[in-house]
Structures are given as structure tokens and as C-alpha cells.
């Protein structure tokens, strides 16, 4: 089993910053990578950013140059630094861990950006 615990969400004004954290525990071996997804009300869940076990990163076009994903292998934690936040970034943000053929999800953390 894999457990993912997210933290760092909240309410911020447009232009502000937040940092999300996701701590992984349990059967965290043979990991392909980790990522952050988000889901706004009435919309499908979408990939925001991902990082492979080798450190390669990938971002949604909507967050490039504003968000940065990073990982701390010693702490089994992945971070999402979000700068220049916009109201359209408002969503529930979910951490995901890709291990073999499976995806494990965190419980989600709400990010609300006010205009």
C-alpha cells in the first residue's frame, strides 16, 4: 500500500504564491514518478506537473513558467511551488504516485485564488 499526504493548500490573492507538499509512505519502491493533478468544479481532473524518478519534469502549458515541481528523495516528498497564481488555478489539487502499472492518489488539498 501507498499513502500520500498533501498539505499547503489555502486561500491566496491573485498574483500570490503557495507551495504544496506531498509526503509518500508505505510501499514506495519501483516508482516511475510523481505528479500533481487538479480538478475544478464541473471539470475533469487534469495533469498540472509531473516528475519522473530520473528527475525529468513536465508541465501543463497553462502553468509553465509559473509552477515548479521538485522532489526530495530523502524525505519521500514532492513539492509544487506555485507562483503568480490566477483565479483559474482554483481547484482541488491531488498528488499522484505512479508505481508500476498503478496510480495512487492523495486526498486532495484545496487551492482558492481570489481576484
Least confidently predicted of 5-9, 62-66, 70-74, 82-86:
70-74
Query: How far is residue 105's CA from residue 19's CA, in Å, rounded to a whole number?
Result: 18
Q: Any bridge partners for residue 112, and if so which? A: 11
6-52: pLDDT as tens digits: 999 999 999 999 999 999 998 888 889 999 999 999 999 999 999 99
Task: Tell me which residue of 82, 78, 80 sits closest to 104, measured CA to CA.
Answer: 78
pLDDT at residue 13, rounded to an integer: 98
Q: Any bridge partners for residue 18, and if so which? A: 82
Instruction: Tell me if residue 64 falls in helix, strand or coil.
Output: coil
Spatial contact of 6 and 18, defined as CB atoms under 8 Å apart: no
Query: How far is residue 62's CA from residue 56's CA, in Å, rounded to a whole number?
Result: 18
48-65: pLDDT as tens digits: 999 998 999 999 999 999
pLDDT at residue 78, rounded to an integer: 96
Instruction: Pick left, alpha or beta for residue 38 (phi over 0 → left; psi -120 to 50 → alpha; otherwise beta).
Output: beta
89-109: pLDDT as tens digits: 999 999 999 988 899 999 999
Length of the chain: 115
Amino acid at each position: 500500500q501507498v499513502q500520500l499526504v498533501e498539505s499547503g493548500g489555502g486561500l491566496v490573492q491573485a498574483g500570490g504564491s503557495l507551495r504544496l507538499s506531498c509526503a509518500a509512505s508505505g510501499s514506495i519502491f519501483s516508482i516511475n514518478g510523481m505528479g500533481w493533478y487538479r480538478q475544478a468544479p464541473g471539470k475533469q481532473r487534469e495533469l498540472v506537473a509531473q516528475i519522473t524518478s530520473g528527475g525529468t519534469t513536465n508541465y501543463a502549458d497553462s502553468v509553465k513558467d509559473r509552477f515548479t515541481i521538485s522532489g526530495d528523495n530523502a524525505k519521500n516528498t514532492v513539492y509544487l511551488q506555485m507562483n503568480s497564481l490566477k483565479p483559474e488555478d482554483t481547484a482541488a489539487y491531488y498528488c499522484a504516485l505512479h508505481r508500476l502499472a498503478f496510480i495512487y492518489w492523495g486526498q486532495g488539498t484545496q487551492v482558492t485564488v481570489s481576484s
